[in-house]
Structure 1
Amino acid sequence: MAADILLVDDDDAIRLVVAQALRRAGHQVRTATCLAELDREMRAKLPDALITDVVLPDGDGIDHAARIAADHARLPIVVLSARNTLTTAVRATEAGTYDYLPKPFDLDTLTRTVAAALARQNGIDLPADEHADASLPLIGRSPAMQEVYRIIARVVSNDLTVLVSGESGTGKELVARAIHDLGPRRASPFVAINMAAIPRDLIEAELFGHERGAFTGAAQRSAGRFEQAAGGTLFLDEIGDMPRDAQTRLLRVLQSGEFTTVGGTRAIRAEVRIVAATNRDLRGAIADGQFREDLFYRLNVVPISLPALRERRGDIAELARHFLDRAAADGLPHKVLDGDAVAELKAFYWPGNVRELGNLMRRLAALSRDDRITAGEIRSVLGTTTAAGEPADIDLDQAVAAMIDHLARSEPRALDNGTLHARLVAAVERPMIEAMLRRHGGNQLRAARAIGLNRNTLRKRLDVLGIDPDANSTAV
């Protein structure tokens, strides 16, 4: 549907290419370089959609968008920003905008977003786009993390149940805390329980509490985690390790909104928001009869998939600097990484994900003799394992066996939590794609054909893996 679109950005190149893309899609485009010009264009004619940058010469685009949204509730507003943080995504959502796109963005994504916004304005819902531990920092500018930020921003203001999936060490509890801390329940308790750490026969008492005399040793009444979290957020970590009988009890609570203590008869209102997390493949657990399918659908209202660190290598330098700064704030010597050290970090497989990186940076801050951490020091701690988990000068069979041995030593649960296949595939995918791009001189179409993918699928994998696209990409 053709529309009149107002585009506000002080970057001449971005205005040019975005306007051209929108015009190719059949829209009329007016442009502005600052908030004053935006207001002038709005007074002349109210557009069908507004696209605005955040940092403009005469003010903040999000603050201005909030005022426009208050006056024109039906006007779809899309925010563009190079400040690709969770805070920016949340601010844009709270301002009443339709969507937030981090720079650099793909022009096809922008035109699809505009089309969806215009359709929604006309009462039409387009099909959804295909690509929708508390000490770990929720930071990073990779496309995968930007998608996480956007989902968090959309759910903080409501009470929808969220299921966070990801490998151990990716920061699942931090996502849960962000949802709590940024939402309306922030003044109430955040209570976490790890299902894998509670004995099977005590899980129900831990969750729902118990009455005096309910079982041997119950000398007095005890409140469970649901009562402790009243008004706030209950984080159910490692939900895939919950016994079947406890799953049934939890399902009843989610369905009815009420629970009773162990040994009790009085129904208690479950006034909490539920965020669950797992490092297991729950669909596989359902097929194996280990997890209730109806409970899965109750929990999986809003799924958030956290990328492994090897899938967001562009964030490693920022994360490493964060950990070194935090170590210095804790009293350890302040250290910096040289360029070769950063390259060494990006080449490692990171079976322990962000947690493993944080532990390494703290160790190097304490033990490194110089102020500057070198690649040699990184190698001395990590060994020679590469991004594919493959020590030098051995064949593929040996490389796979070596990676499995490494996982068994560093993360024993990785061999029985249903993630091994995905990890091995991820380890091979990145070097394979990079090798084929080099072989075909950066031509994505030829590389995609050689691999056996269509070009759009390859481009999505480039984004997910953080591989730089070729020079002829439409990214701006």
Structure 2
Amino acid sequence: MTRGAAIWASLPVPVLLIDAQDRICDLNPAAEEFLNAPASAVTGHKLWDRIDFDATITDATARARLDLTALTVRAAGVIVGDRGPLHCRIQIAPLEGGPEHMILMISPIDGKAAPATEDESLSEAITRHLQRYFDLHDDMLPAQGLYGRILREVEIPLIEVALDATGGNQAKCADLLGINRNTLRKKITSHDIEVTRRPKMM
């Protein structure tokens, strides 16, 4: 087992490796638990036959493979077996810089989630996740454009949380973030962030 494989095999969230035909090549113990099936029962099967994803996931996987870049779908419906739909964050990336194998990481938004590390600062959490991302590529480097992809990954949840904290008020959100309102509007549009304005409390 390579160092990268050992890293993702130990992750507390489901991780699956698929080949160029979208067949499951490998999966970690968390994915076996998620699928309620041993690796031997699902290896070689089409991913889409074992997990019912939103159409956005099939499109994102094809795009990530074509562009050789990592993509994240912030909220997607996932159905396994007879269980009801589970909202998940899906991260998709080519493994070792090539399109032959893609790695999918499934992080439930509701239901059972990965345990948080106690007393961990934001900087430490980011460092840990970045190191894990590099480890997944073994001795290869991630696809070019990493700086922009990482900034996007941080910026989107920051804006979403700030909007939620300000009740969807973009003026207050811009003040909270310390950026120009027009800049905030452009970022909301470019990142396709949904804004829900809550009614004022009487």
Question: Which TM-score applies when normalising by structure 2?
Answer: 0.49
Larger helix percent: 1
Higher strand fraction (1 or 2): 2
TM (normalized to structure 1)?
0.24
